[in-house]
Amino acid sequence: AAFFFGITGTITMLTGVYLATAVDWPVNIGGKTHFALPDFIPITFELTILFCAFGLVGSYYASTHLFPGRAPRVMDLRATDDRFIIAIDAKQNTEHEKIDELLKGAGALEVKHNERKYLSYE
């Protein structure tokens, strides 16, 4: 993904520079060509890095479903008080009594069976 975001930044910058210097405002400076590529390498590099960084941040948010303003999904509303939660996916042919005994023997204060995947503050 980073490569494609970087290529997008490079193509965007080179296209913008070409349109600005060779098509819209061609100015003859010292006999140079209108589109002298070595002059624009630093800014092309900078825009490549910028597109790559913003693209990867957007990809991260999209893949983890962490968008601004989204209500948090938690398994228990008390999860952040003073304890922590251990979630065990025990849907298929699992003896819940053995799991309960194991957790209680390890010092669990409470064992709950939750049919819903997540609770929400909404």
Q: What percent of the chain has pLDDT over 90?
A: 34
Instruction: Read off the pLDDT of each residue in 37-50 and give the average, rounded to a whole number.
Output: 92
120 pLDDT band, cuts 50/70/90, is: low
Burial 22-47 (b: 16+ CB within 10 A, else e): eeeeeeeeeeeeebeeeebeeebeeb
| Cα–Cα distance for residue pair 81/2, rounded to 1 Å | 38
Instruction: Read off the pLDDT of each residue in 39-58 and give the average, rounded to a whole number.
Output: 94
Domain extent listing, the chain: 2-64, 71-122
- Please, is 6 exposed, middle or buried when counting C-beta atoms within 10 Å of its C-beta (0-12, 13-18, 19+)? buried
Residues 50-90 pLDDT 10s: 999 999 999 998 888 887 777 777 777 777 787 778 877 77
